[in-house]
Amino acid sequence: MGQAMNPAVLQAKLWYAQRISAMVLGICVAIHLGIIFYAIRGGLTAQEILGRTQGNLAFAIFYELFVIACFVHAPIGIANILQETFPSSGIAKPIASVLGLLILILGSAAVFGVYSAGSL
Amino acid sequence: MRPYNRDMANTDLKVRVWRGAQEGEFVQYLVPRNPNQTVLDVVTYVQRKLDPTLSYRFACRVGMCGSCAMTVNGVARWTCRTHVSQILQGDTLEIAPLNNLPVIKDLATDMREFFNKWKGAVGFFKGDKTRHDDFAKVPPESEERQLANAGIECIGCGVCYASCEVVESRPNYLGPAALNRAWTLTNDVRDVQQLERMRAVAGDAGCHACHSQGSCTEACPKAIAPTASIAGLKKLVARAAVRGSKWGKL
């Protein structure tokens, strides 16, 4: 460590991270869809949702994992697209970083929200 | 398909040929239609009979040398093995130089950058044996040999490079031909430059820029799948960067 990483090697590592997070996302999305199908039987109410999620640690861990996978996956892809579309603008890294932080903060806040249901 | 008949020989092909360099225009020539005529035959007719100043490149005429590739009706093709009857719509052919390469004159492109990128991808063999060593034994059924086989028949015509959208938008991208060559060498068990090659083909100028759109694979006249070779490199190189490889860590 200490010396700057070869940018090409960094790209390769990011590609790897994006691949692994895509695998996690694939599973998460499938489970999430399953939950949606289950949840919408007979209408959808906030009470019903909170009844399932409030204090349910398994739910919270699963959705936090989902958020972290998005946090890893989406900014890498957005940075690649921006870098290719606007090669010399230098906007790829800042926009992707902001997007990553937003996903992490807002996503985690949502997970915490349905877990605690405002009781904290 | 229309059968050949006497009328066909009387119907001249309208051939629009690119004249000039980077700047230029299409000039139309009338070329007699012949059975079994290739696009290269058409271009040769124009030069021999109609306008000797036309510049183009060819050598073997049998699909081995990779020098006669051009853009025919908007698609990059090897002209010596492309029959006019396979691609003709109406009676017009449009023949232009390959895309993504600087035009020297008419149909001849400057292919230096294309081949320099092979060098850039460490697309050349280097072993560590001498004439005093025994022959290397590579079992034909071994996985490496099979993987190398899949990409080894490249003739370096540049059709994939001219068809690649990533090359078009990202001029420093090594391109499908160079990366395919790198992949065959990655699977050459005698080669000793594996780490150097993986570093050369990693990242945005290399395999990780590929969109896997498959235009190279669709266009390759030798039915090679550079997209698959590049996918192989992506996996190998990324794994080597994160976890290391049998040749060491990147």
The ipTM estimated for the assembled molecules is 0.80
Residue B94, φ and ψ in degrees, nearest 5: -115, 120
B31-70 per-position pLDDT tens digit: 999 989 999 999 999 999 999 999 999 999 999 999 999 9
Continuous H helices in chain B: 6-10, 39-45, 84-87, 112-120, 143-151, 159-163, 165-169, 176-186, 194-201, 215-219, 226-242
Of the partner residues A7, A16, A84, the one whose CB lies closest to the CB of residue B238: A16
- Please report, rounded to a whole number, the percentage of residues in chain B having pLDDT higher than 70: 96
Q: Which CATH class is domain B6-109?
A: alpha beta
Q: Where are the domains of chain A?
A: 12-116
Candidates 1.20.1300.10, 3.40.50.300, 1.10.490.10, 3.10.129.10; correct CATH number of A12-116?
1.20.1300.10
- Picking from B199, B201, B204 by the largest number of A CB atoms within 10 A of its own CB, the best residue to mutate is B204
Instruction: Compute the distance between CA of residue B198 and CA of residue B212 in angstroms, rounded to an integer.
Output: 19
Q: Which residues pair with B29 in a beta bridge?
A: B15
pTM score of the predicted model: 0.89
pLDDT tens, residue by residue, A25-71: 999 999 999 999 998 888 888 888 888 889 999 999 999 999 999 99
In whole angstroms, give the CA distance from residue B4 to residue B83: 13
Give the torsion through C-alpha atoms of B114, B116, B122, B127, to 10 deg.
110
Q: Do B208 and A9 touch (CB under 8 A)?
A: no
pLDDT for A7 equals 87
What distance in Å separates residue B197's CA from the closest CA in chain A?
Answer: 12
Q: What is the CATH number of domain B112-242?
A: 1.10.1060.10
Q: In which band, very low, low, confident or very high, does the pLDDT at B5 lie, cut at 50, 70 and 90?
A: very low
In tens, the pLDDT along B121-135 reads 999 999 999 999 999
